A and B are shown apart, each in its own frame.
Chain A
Amino acid sequence: MSKEEKFIQLIKENEGIIYKITRIYTNNESDLKDLYQEVVYQLWKGYDGFRGEAKVSTWMYRISLNTALFHTKQSKKNGHRVGLDKIVLIQENYDPVLEERLAIMYQHIKALNDLEKGIILLFLEGKKHEEIAEITGITATNVGTRIGRIKQKLKETIKS
């Protein structure tokens, strides 16, 4: 299997992950598509350097989160957009009730700071504290503390 074929397979197997990350870091469909494309590009750029020291998922989450963080902060300055209308993302079987609940959930997540956003995303993805620590660069104990703090923040949001 060629490098391209392996990469394509990897992206296809994990396209949902990229979608979920990009949705957290963007506020509209156009930005989402642009960020999605940027993440795929950065993964491709980093693909040669990936030698399997970490799990594929850890590597993917790290690049995707870093790209989302960097791209979002940068695009505020550059305002650069690359239209790619052909990226059609997850619109089948539209469920308005689910979408509304998801919108509320995303609203809560977007209200968190950058580090918390990354941690909560990995937590919701079912990652263990150790893997979250490896991706984010903070200690596993600190991950636990921060998740506790996020819980508290969410409770306070509901009260207010």
Chain B
Amino acid sequence: MQLEEMKNLWDEMSLKIDSQQKLTNKLIMEMIQQKFSHRFKTLSLYETLGAVICFLAGTFILLNLDKMDTWYLMLCGILSLIILIILPILSLRAIYGLKKLNLSKNSYKETLIEFSKRKNNMMLIQQISVGISIVLMWLVAPVFSKIVNGKDFFMQEHSTGLLLFYAATTIGMIFFARWGYGCYKRITASAENDLKELEV
């Protein structure tokens, strides 16, 4: 289909559409009100829920930090606390940044560029989060073991089953992180292409 043919067809369609106006005053206002009331549901439910869980776990560790009676348990506790507080903040900030793009002031090109950049940033943070989660899993285990059972994770004997469970979980998470990294590379490559295309 040539561009000129497209133009004629477009004009024909426009005429038809203009002769079939359908929206009523009530419907227009309903659209706005419905969208407004659904706004909060679109606020990244999973990320918000994840952040709340992290903060609760962080608070729990903070309240029990005095139970960490050796330097290495204290180190595990403090590192867990830092990760549980900082990571969700970074993640939520990146998502918030993506959502607050100014759609009414920016030009189309600016929106494309901003979106690609912020998307890359968000993907990077998510990727780092997955990597750190593997470390976090090993940091949290001794901390919770001490808080809940009062036992030193590093000094006690572990059953083979438990060790196997830890090993399997770690391997699973590494595979998950690798898969996530693949997705991350694909998405950011596509965003980079979009940006290059804009520069031409």
Contact = CB atoms under 8 A, between A and B. Distances in A.
Dominant secondary structure of chain A at its interface with chain B: helix
A80 B20 CA distance: 29
Contact of B13 (A86, A102, A134): A102
Contacts of A78: 42, 44
Contact of A115 (B23, B34, B108): B108
Interface range, A side: 35 or more
A88 B31 CA distance: 12
Dominant secondary structure of chain B at its interface with chain A: helix
Interface residues of B, number: 49
A40 B103 CA distance: 12
Given A12-B23, A137-B109, A67 B32 contact: no
A80 B108 contact: no
Interface string A11-54: 11001100110000000000000001110111011100110000
A56 interface: no
A124 B7 contact: yes
10 contacts: A20-B14, A66-B101, A69-B112, A69-B115, A70-B111, A82-B38, A109-B6, A113-B197, A126-B11, A137-B108
Interface of A: 4, 7-8, 11-12, 15-16, 19-20, 36-38, 40-42, 44-46, 49-50, 59, 62-63, 65-67, 69-70, 73-74, 78, 80, 82, 84, 86-90, 92-93, 98, 101-102, 104-105, 108-109, 113-115, 118, 120, 123-126, 134-138, 147, 150-151, 154-155, 158
